[in-house]
Structure 1
Amino acid sequence: MVLSIIKLFFIGFLGFFQTDQPTFKGGKEALDSFIASKTIYPSFSKNNCIQGTIYVSFQLNQNGEVFGAKVDKGLGVDLDQEALRLVRLTNNKWDVPTNHNIKSRIIIPVNFSLKNYDCDLRSQDEVNKAIELYKTRAALEKVVTNYYKNKEEGKAIDKNEAEIIQIKAELGFDDTFISNKIKEAKKMMRQGDKVGACQALNFIKNIGSNAAESLIAENCK
């Protein structure tokens, strides 16, 4: 079971949901429920029992639209991107008072917790090593995606593709990985998260697969 717990802090204010502060429509319980229902626990962190709190800050305009969202404090793994995605999904779900200062920033700490994944058997040292491994993988992923972006533009050196294919194998970018990534993208699309879905689909494209071409053509142009 995946748990995602969320609280709100307003920079410059002392309490939660006070008068003249933006409030999530339905209140804090509704926000907690919304976040829990939308969370797609990232596969690397789930498989490696990486848990923790990601702090995301953002601003709201008078229409309750989220802008300027960024990770203020993260773990440097895929949980950071998911926390940011979840905050962006709250777009248009806020009641904003007329005297709200749109320059003020709201901080949401999103807590990711795994249950029934035998994570109590993992030592903190093992988790820390997994976090470092993720950072190494991210650098290799960039090598792969840069190659295929350059290839699409006719700038890649063909003789280097054998090395890129080897890196892809080391990263586990196989048919199962691609299939799971497409499922995640479709789930995001059902949630109304077109931006997140298209990012996932274009990632598939940028690792040299054409498996997402039709979905990209249909949804991401």
Structure 2
Amino acid sequence: MYRILAAFLIFISFSVKAQRPELKGGLPAFLKNNTIYPAYSLHNCIQGTVKIGFKVNAKGDVYFTEITNGVGADLDDEALRLIKMSTGKWEVPSTHDTTTLIVAPVNFTLDGYGCERKSKADIALALRNYKNQEEIEYAIMNFYRNKEKGLTKSEDEARILRLKEEIGIDEDYLDGRIETALKKYKQGDKQGACEDFNFVKFMGSDKANDWLNKYCK
């Protein structure tokens, strides 16, 4: 089981609580109901707090987001995705300055998953390896994008397949990525879903093609 908690801060002094934008139903409940714990952090027991800065306009739409303090893994992307998903759900008082930066610290914690067997050194190593994994994924995706355009050599694919094996991109992983994409689509996050479907495609797989044709045209 994982838990997602959120505090709520605004970098401005308010004398009346009602002057602060509030998410309909509450931000903690929204995060709890919508968070999909990212695969890399889940498998490596990475936990921590990601602070997302954002701004909302008078209609309650989120029009600016940034990671103000991240963990350094895919938790950062998930926290950012969630805040973007909250657009249109904010109740904004007429007195609110819409240029104010709101900061939501999102705390990701894990119970179980064998994390008690992970040492601090193991987790620190996983965090260091995350950037390397991202770079390898980019190289693989770039190869298959170029392959689609007829710009690659067939003999080069053997090296790409070795890279996929090195970082654990196998059929089970791709199936899990599609499952995550479908969850995001069900949440109303079409952009996030299509990004995951395209990730699968540019890992050299046709597993997500039907979903891309159905949802991402």
User: What's the counterpart of residue 107 of structure 2?
Assistant: 111
Letter matched to residue 23 of structure 2 = F
* Alpha-carbon distance between aligned partners in 1 of 2:22 and 2:47, rounded to the nearest angstrom: 27
* Alpha-carbon distance between aligned partners in 1 of 2:91 and 2:47, rounded to the nearest angstrom: 31
Percent identical across equivalent pairs? 37
> Please, which runs of 5 or more residues in structure 2 have no aligned partner?
none
Confirm or deny that 1:165 pairs with 2:164: no
User: What's the counterpart of residue 46 of structure 2?
Assistant: 50
* Alpha-carbon distance between aligned partners in 2 of 1:61 and 1:157, rounded to the nearest angstrom: 50
Letter matched to residue 89 of structure 1 = M
User: What's the counterpart of residue 188 of structure 2?
Assistant: 192
Confirm or deny that 1:96 pairs with 2:92: yes
User: What's the counterpart of residue 19 of structure 1?
Assistant: 18
Instruction: Note the 1:140-159 alignment, pairs <5 A.
Output: 140-159=136-155
Structure 1 residue 62, shift from structure 2 partner: 1.1
User: What's the counterpart of residue 7 of structure 2?
Assistant: 7
Structure 1 residue 14, shift from structure 2 partner: 5.8
User: What's the counterpart of residue 71 of structure 1?
Assistant: 67
Query: What TM-score results when the alignment is normalised by the length of structure 1?
Result: 0.93
* Alpha-carbon distance between aligned partners in 1 of 2:182 and 2:170, rounded to the nearest angstrom: 19
Structure 1 residue 129, shift from structure 2 partner: 0.4
The more displaced of 130-139 and 113-122 is 113-122
CA deviation profile, 1:120-161 (whole Å, cap 9, x unmatched): 332211110011111111111111011111222232333311
Query: What TM-score results when the alignment is normalised by the length of structure 2?
Result: 0.94
* Alpha-carbon distance between aligned partners in 1 of 2:14 and 2:126, rounded to the nearest angstrom: 37
User: What's the counterpart of residue 82 of structure 2?
Assistant: 86
Structure 1 residue 49, shift from structure 2 partner: 0.9
